[in-house]
Amino acid sequence: MDWNSIDGCQIMERRFLLLFGSQTGQSQAVAEEIFEKALEHGFQPDLHNINETEKKFNIEKETLLVLVISSTGDGEPPDTALKFWRRIRKKTLGSDYLGNLRYTILGLGDSNYSNFCQNPKNFDLRFQQLGAQHFYSMGFADDAIGLEIVVEPWIDGLLSALTSQFSEKSENCSLDHAISDKNQQTDLKPQIDETDNVKDDNKQDNVANAITTVDLAIVSTEKELGDIKVVEKTIEVSSLVKSIPPIEGQIVVPALPHSFLEVHYSEDESIDLDSLCIQNGAALPSATTDIVMANIVNVSTLTRQDAVKTALEIQLEITESEMTFEPGDSFGIVCENSRDEVEELILKLSVTNVADSVCYLKLKEETRKKNAAIPPFLPTRTTIRHLLVTCCDIRTPIKKGFIRMLAEYTPNTLEKARLQELCSRQGSSQYTHFIREPNLSLLDILKAFPSCCPPIERILEHLPRLLPRPYSISSSPLVSRKHLNFVFNIVEIPSGSGRQYSRKGVCTGWLSSSQIDCNNKPKIPIYGRKNLSFHLPSDLSIPMILIGAGTGLAPFIGFMQHREAQVKHDQDLLCGPIWLFFGCRHNERDYLYRSELERFHEVGILSNISVSFSRDNSTSARYVQDNILLHSDSVCKLLLEKNAVIYVCGDARNMSKDVNNTIVTIISQHQGIAMEEAKSVTMKLRQEGRYLEDIWT
């Protein structure tokens, strides 16, 4: 309990513990937002990374907790939360271990994955088992539709709940009740839907609510044609730069975020940028190795020129002692932003003359930001260009606080007013529709609002970290431990919908621009990531059903190379059948690794290949799941009688869900059981590690 004794009275501090468990930094950013707002409302949040357990806080001694935590993979805790999770999971803890704790959790997840926000739900369950109770309902924010749709109203509700919580406590105090009565929970509801079980239907509703109805206005303009006046009527629609009709009434804009950074230039100094520690020691998500430099030794295009997407395969040379891998593992690429885009940004921000000078980042001494710190991913001695190329994510749709700051540096009154609308509470749906959904970058905004020119310091305060991108390894260490292959589609993002310029995906664009002369052996920074389950079964006789669309084929190539090498090494090995279901668009344009797959089939590594072409109209199966339906009997026999393992890799948004539904359907038909029962069978397969997914959006 946090009691201070003043003038003989006990005064309750308005302190609460605010924890974040973050994998990519989003939970941390949200927790920091809560921190700022809580301070503004007179609370005393004690903000910590959840991995600081026992160093900075002891959960059993706390009375009020707000936890912001994400879910990774299939509902697992972020790496940073593992220590805390293991601690509270101990079987020896009694049912009143957290009996004094009142708490709430804001979970961040992505409903494209089957176990949406499972990790926050697991924490909630465990807290309850240990005797803790809610003081405010949990929130579940969904990255698939925009975290802010839930986060913002949830924080508003949290502040009210904290106010009630503390007034309840001080009432209890004046009544000389030191221990709060757990049966009198406030459990205030935030002004959002109960999203405990976010279903797809819900998601659709949320999206529909988030999108503005397109506002129209008929605008009349008079033109003079000789002596005649002509009235032209045009229809204007709302857009990024204009709301039609303008948002009415007084708008509520967020408070201007406090500035906290200073940049000092030292133009006479020189700096060796290569020697700068990459991303300045910021933690790498899911890393199992340090960053190592890998040579690009080969780049090949796997698709024909007229394919819808261009797939490239890159071979990297690594030092065996620095990084080992198994088929099914992925690795992270520490990529760079487009140098052309950075150059444009530098021009727009009017920092061309200092962009390559050595600069020092310092905290503003007089900053009013509480707990201000230089973001750990920013080196403090560097250059502006280096920060923008390698450290900051310049693409992520800018947040409302960022827009609020930009409005402050926009002299044109119309532009300023529109920026204020876009970050206002009343402009929330417009923000979602015009900024978040089309994925507008900082440069898009600066181009659309040309008078806006903020100082670089303010920009660096708001840009999040440029995150590494993971890729599945598509080769086997039994073929070469020194080489690692991967395959990717170049992400092409056209201009339009507010985007002021066309662009490629950050990492795939960068990699494709390094389609350079491989004789020069260009190097890229990478690091190892382990997949805990998506591996070949240790018992080689177990049949495997491999299902992948597009580049989701990648890990399966590694699987087959591995199996071939194992068989070559020991020809008496008894291997179970492998059945591949692969889907692409056109037989002739994007059938990845076609000759390798045919060879694996010829030599008996692959027992069956079923390929679906979604845009050829030549086969009865359009998608992988259509082929599974066509072969439902054989698939079910392998799965239910021969204990096969299913592996699904590729798109999480649609394909993996449709495949799951198809497996449920064929089990239901084959076993003559109801769909609900077939769902339970499929769930059991997942629990037994016989239905494995490696999927991403």
Among 486, 579, 647, 691, interactor with ligand FAD by CB under 6 A: 486
- Distance, CA of 600 to CA of 195 (rounded, Å): 47
**Neighbouring C-beta atoms of residue 55, cutoff 10 Å:** 9
C-beta separation of 611 from 624 below 8 A:
no
Binding segment for ligand FAD (CB under 6 A), chosen from 179-187, 319-327, 503-511, 560-568, is 503-511
Instruction: For the CB of residue 592, give the shortest distance to ligand NAP in the complex, in Å.
Output: 8
**Neighbouring C-beta atoms of residue 338, cutoff 10 Å:** 19
Residue 298 dihedral angles phi and psi, to the nearest 5°: -155, 140
Q: Which is nearer to ligand NAP, 362 or 589 (CB)?
A: 589
Instruction: For the CB of residue 395, give the shortest distance to ligand FAD in the complex, in Å.
Output: 6
Binding segment for ligand FAD (CB under 6 A), chosen from 103-111, 486-494, 606-614, 682-690, is 486-494
What the block records as the tokens of 233 is: 């009527």
Q: Out of ligand FAD, ligand NAP, none, which partner does residue 439 contact, by CB within 5 to 8 A per kind?
A: ligand FAD
Binding segment for ligand FAD (CB under 6 A), chosen from 63-71, 138-146, 170-178, 480-488, is 480-488
By CB under 6 A, is residue 395 in contact with ligand FAD? yes
Q: Match 């204020």 to its residue by tokens.
A: 420
Instruction: For the CB of residue 102, give the shortest distance to ligand NAP in the complex, in Å.
Output: 39
By CB under 6 A, is residue 489 in contact with ligand FAD? yes
By CB under 6 A, is residue 696 in contact with ligand FAD? yes
188 DSSP β-pair partners: 136
Interface residue list for ligand NAP (CB under 6 A): 309, 330, 472, 489, 549-552, 554, 583-585, 614-615, 623-625, 649-651, 654-655, 658, 694-697
Asked if the bond preceding 522 is cis, omega within 30° of 0, the reply is: no
Q: Which is nearer to ligand NAP, 141 or 584 (CB)?
A: 584
Among 244, 283, 493, 673, interactor with ligand FAD by CB under 6 A: 493
What the block records as the tokens of 634 is: 């054989």
Q: Out of ligand FAD, ligand NAP, none, which partner does residue 190 contact, by CB within 5 to 8 A per kind?
A: none
Eight-class DSSP state of 279: G
Q: Give one DSSP letter per residue of 483-516, joined into a string.
A: EEEEEEEPPEE-SBTTB-S-EE-HHHHHHHHT--
By CB under 6 A, is residue 330 in contact with ligand FAD? yes
Instruction: For the CB of residue 474, give the shortest distance to ligand FAD in the complex, in Å.
Output: 7
- Tell me the per-residue interface mask from 457 to 476 with ligand FAD, x by CB under 6 A, - otherwise: ------------xxxx----
133 DSSP β-pair partners: 102
Instruction: For the CB of residue 303, give the shortest distance to ligand FAD in the complex, in Å.
Output: 12
Instruction: For the CB of residue 262, give the shortest distance to ligand NAP in the complex, in Å.
Output: 39
Q: Which is nearer to ligand NAP, 140 or 647 (CB)?
A: 647
Q: Which is nearer to ligand FAD, 161 or 394 (CB)?
A: 394
Helix (H, G, I), strand (E, B) or coil at 362: strand
By CB under 6 A, is residue 299 in contact with ligand FAD? no
Q: Out of ligand FAD, ligand NAP, none, which partner does residue 583 contact, by CB within 5 to 8 A per kind?
A: ligand NAP
The answer for residues whose C-beta is within 8 angstroms of residue 167's C-beta and 6 or more apart is none
- Distance, CA of 497 to CA of 438 (rounded, Å): 6
Q: Give one DSSP letter per residue of 628-686, joined into a string.
A: HHHTHHHHHIIIIIS--EEEEEEETTTHHHHHHHHHHHHHHHHHT--HHHHHHHHHHHH
C-beta separation of 578 from 567 below 8 A:
no
Name which of 458, 466, 259, 449 is nearest 342 in CA terms: 466
- Distance, CA of 180 to CA of 173 (rounded, Å): 9
Q: Which is nearer to ligand FAD, 37 or 657 (CB)?
A: 657
Residue 694 dihedral angles phi and psi, to the nearest 5°: -130, 95
Name which of 501, 489, 390 is nearest 445 in CA terms: 501
Q: Give one DSSP letter per residue of 586-636, joined into a string.
A: -TTTS-TTHHHHHHHHHTTS-SEEEEEETTS--SS-SSHHHHHHHTHHHHH
Q: Out of ligand FAD, ligand NAP, none, which partner does residue 143 contact, by CB within 5 to 8 A per kind?
A: none
Q: 425 to 444, contacts with ligand FAD by CB under 6 A? A: 438-439
Q: Out of ligand FAD, ligand NAP, none, which partner does residue 545 contact, by CB within 5 to 8 A per kind?
A: none
Q: Which is nearer to ligand NAP, 456 or 549 (CB)?
A: 549
- Give the β-pairing of 691-696 and 9-12: unpaired
Q: Which is nearer to ligand NAP, 394 or 554 (CB)?
A: 554
Instruction: For the CB of residue 550, give the shortest distance to ligand FAD in the complex, in Å.
Output: 8
Q: Out of ligand FAD, ligand NAP, none, which partner does residue 505 contact, by CB within 5 to 8 A per kind?
A: ligand FAD
Q: Which is nearer to ligand FAD, 84 or 325 (CB)?
A: 325
By CB under 6 A, is residue 505 in contact with ligand FAD? yes
Handedness of CA 478, 480, 481, 487 (dihedral sign): negative
Instruction: For the CB of residue 331, give the shortest distance to ligand FAD in the complex, in Å.
Output: 9
In terms of phi and psi (left: phi > 0; alpha: psi -120 to 50; beta: otherwise), the region of 146 is left
Q: Which is nearer to ligand NAP, 389 or 628 (CB)?
A: 628
610 DSSP β-pair partners: 581
Instruction: For the CB of residue 120, give the shortest distance to ligand FAD in the complex, in Å.
Output: 20
If you count them, how many residues does the chain have? 697
Alpha helices for 441-544 (secondary structure H) = 442-448, 456-462, 506-513
Q: Which is nearer to ligand FAD, 47 or 467 (CB)?
A: 467
Asked if the bond preceding 470 is cis, omega within 30° of 0, the reply is: no
Binding segment for ligand FAD (CB under 6 A), chosen from 54-62, 199-207, 232-240, 506-514, is 506-514
Residue of minimal Cβ distance to ligand NAP? 550
Residue 379 dihedral angles phi and psi, to the nearest 5°: -65, 145
Q: Out of ligand FAD, ligand NAP, none, which partner does residue 614 contact, by CB within 5 to 8 A per kind?
A: ligand NAP
The site for ligand FAD (CB under 6 A) is made up of 330, 395, 438-439, 469-472, 486-489, 491, 493, 505-509, 551, 554, 696
